[in-house]
Amino acid sequence: MSTTTGKAAQPAKVQAGPGTSASPAAGPQGRRGRKRASMGVQNAAGWLFSTPFLVLFTVFMAFPILATLLMSFTDFGLRNVTHPLDAKFIGFENYVNLFSDDKFLKSLFNTAYFVVIGVPLTIFLGLVAAVLLNNGIDRARTFFRVGFYAPVVTTIVAVAVVWRFVLDPSDGLIGGLFTEVGLTPPDFLGSETLAMPSMIAMAVWRNLGTVMVLFIAGLQAIPTEVREAAKLDGAGVWHEFRRITVPLLRPTLLYATVITTIGYLNVFEEPFVMTQGGPSDSTLTVSLNMYREGFNFFHMGYASAMAYVLFVVIMGITVLQLRLLKDNTK
């Protein structure tokens, strides 16, 4: 199938110099071939194949990341959208102002609230679903898995619109169920205390499928022999779970926690659609706050500082999680 047309020898078979057999994975055969294939040709090909990604990465990622940092030290405003270089350098003023800005501190607190409650709940329920699905259910497994995963693939905006209606105290589903049992339904999204928990509930509902799928893959990677051995040694269900499943799931738990945390720290669509950050900023998250400052009020320098604070927080928490949850047995 892969016969090539020209049998002509490859031009320019420059012998590879010393130190070029860098790939440790290549076996003896591969290494011999690699030496014969010219290093120069591969260098050129390697960079040519990398070029499209690198160009896009540089223009639309690396440059903006750097530019955000630079903008955060300026008074970048609406007029600077057309004249970016006119923005005035103001040092750390934006950052100083941020930490005396009650609204920003509130949004930082709200985001933390969302993450601290939301992430463990999502991980826990995702793990429960995975363990249940991995528990001898064979024929119905796909059916349940599809059902639990479906919210993940759906558009957050649409889902947020639906949840807004589900939680509506007068016409909504939950409100209706309250009335049916003779209770007055609370105004979930209109209440300062209940708006955030409602949004967390929705996030958990939407994201536990991802965690579940990760854990199912992790559970299936545990060799059956290990479980059988534990059973033969008289380990009960709980013991097996505690001593076999949990330790061997550690890498999965780490990955699931890290990606869920990063996702939750960036929460934006849910408050944008469901509450617009209200009532009285009780669901204003850092991302939503940044969006408003940057694109409604065009305080783009100030918003850039917010973006960087959030970024630093995300990096810090990720590193911390990698440290804390790292596999200590290795």
Touching another protein, residues 226-245 (CB under 8 A):
228, 231
Return the residue of 12, 153, 184, 233 that touches another protein, per CB under 8 A: 153
d(Cα 288, Cα 291) in Å, to the nearest integer? Answer: 5
# chain residues binding another protein, by CB under 8 A: 125
Q: Minimum distance from CB of 5 to another protein (Å)?
A: 8
Return the residue of 157, 183, 246, 320 that touches another protein, per CB under 8 A: 157
Supply angle C-alpha 188, 190, 192, rounded to 5.
90
Stretch that binds another protein, among 97-105, 113-121, 238-246, 293-301 (CB under 8 A): 293-301
**Site for another protein, residues 24 to 53, rule: CB under 8 A:** 26-27, 29-30, 33-34, 36-37, 39, 41-43, 45-50, 52-53
Closer to another protein at the Cβ: 22 or 328? 22
The amino acid sitting at 83 is: H
Between helix 141-153 and helix 195-220 the angle, nearest 10°, is 130
Query: Hey, what's the torsion of the CAs at 79, 81, 84, 90, to 10 degrees?
Result: 60
Return the residue of 73, 104, 114, 148 that touches another protein, per CB under 8 A: 148
d(Cα 71, Cα 66) in Å, to the nearest integer? Answer: 9
Return the residue of 244, 318, 321, 325 that touches another protein, per CB under 8 A: 318
CB distance 222 to 140 below 8 Å: no
**Nearest residue to 214 via CA among 263, 173, 156, 177:** 263
Stretch that binds another protein, among 21-29, 90-98, 114-122, 241-249 (CB under 8 A): 21-29
d(Cα 329, Cα 318) in Å, to the nearest integer? Answer: 20
Return the residue of 9, 91, 323, 329 that touches another protein, per CB under 8 A: 9
CB distance 33 to 10 below 8 Å: no
SS3 (DSSP) at 136? coil
The Cα-based distances of 63 to 71, 86, 147 in angstroms read: 12, 18, 41
Return the residue of 112, 117, 121, 162 that touches another protein, per CB under 8 A: 162
Closer to another protein at the Cβ: 176 or 186? 176
Q: Minimum distance from CB of 272 to another protein (Å)?
A: 7
d(Cα 219, Cα 289) in Å, to the nearest integer? Answer: 39
The Cα-based distances of 186 to 45, 183, 234 in angstroms read: 64, 9, 50
**Site for another protein, residues 244 to 273, rule: CB under 8 A:** 252, 255-256, 262, 265-266, 268-269, 272-273
Stretch that binds another protein, among 62-70, 95-103, 111-119, 191-199 (CB under 8 A): 62-70
Between helix 156-166 and helix 173-180 the angle, nearest 10°, is 20
Return the residue of 24, 139, 184, 330 that touches another protein, per CB under 8 A: 139
Return the residue of 130, 284, 294, 317 that touches another protein, per CB under 8 A: 294
CB distance 84 to 229 below 8 Å: no
**Site for another protein, residues 85 to 114, rule: CB under 8 A:** none
Binding mask 116-135 for another protein (x = CB under 8 A): -------------x--xx-x
**Site for another protein, residues 164 to 203, rule: CB under 8 A:** 164-166, 168, 170-173, 175-177, 179-180
222 touches another protein (CB under 8 A): no
- Tokens 């003896």 belong to which residue? 28
Closer to another protein at the Cβ: 120 or 147? 147
